[in-house]
Structure 1
Amino acid sequence: MEDRIKVREIAFQIPHPDPDQARTALESVTAIDGVLEAIHHGPQLLVVHYDVRYITLEELEGLCQEFGLHLDNSLLYRLKRALYHYTEETQRANLAGCDKGQHNCTEHAFIVTYQRHRHGRRDERPEYLRNYL
């Protein structure tokens, strides 16, 4: 599996009017771009395979919450989610430098840096201070 393909668990709280929250989430999540597979593991657990270039765990969880589903907020799951959110956000930021189909990202980075650089005189000091050094 490539590094950008993630496999994450989404756990739901037990006391909820919908007894099978994972199945409800499964039905809504499978239609999203970037979600490769979603597997129902019992009424409170959903395992999702997705491509981080298109969607993150944070976005998937936000979608589940919009549908009225309650995520498990135990300490362990909150810590896991915080770590996953941070790593996926960082990975996405690192991947953003290259567009799809672009072969030489390093060259692209140098071109963009060169285009953003202020050209002309390179010495930032005023003219009257240059004579003293």
Structure 2
Amino acid sequence: MTDLDQAWVEAVCAACDPVFDAANVGFLRQVQHAEDGTVGAVLWEADPRRFAERYPDSGIVEAYGAEQWSGVPCIDYWVYVDHVARTARVSVEGWNLPEVRLPLRGDLLDATALADLFARILGVPSPRTG
């Protein structure tokens, strides 16, 4: 595997899904494709109430403000894939974290790097380390 193709995104999802499941806040995943069929992004969306309850120190409620919080449909965790630059731009809500850019090799190391990053953010074990 050296392309950022369907096999690549399946490996990323296989590595990251257990991390999001371990957070236990109702994350659901969707893969978005560009018009040419390439993987454009992967999105995991959490239930906002469950997320705020599990992660009260995340500042997520304060980030939206009390007036807007009741209408928040989900908490987003994105991986945007740049095929030309061979990078992933990771954007998450909570803890006021900056976006992270990771170089992509097109192999299983990408999947474990993304899973490790999400595990650190969410405070759950990485599948690689248990």
Same fold at TM > 0.5: no
* TM-score relative to the length of structure 2: 0.29
Structure with larger Rg: 1
* TM-score relative to the length of structure 1: 0.28
Higher strand share goes to which structure? 2
Q: Which has the higher contact order (CA 8 A, sep 6+)?
A: 2
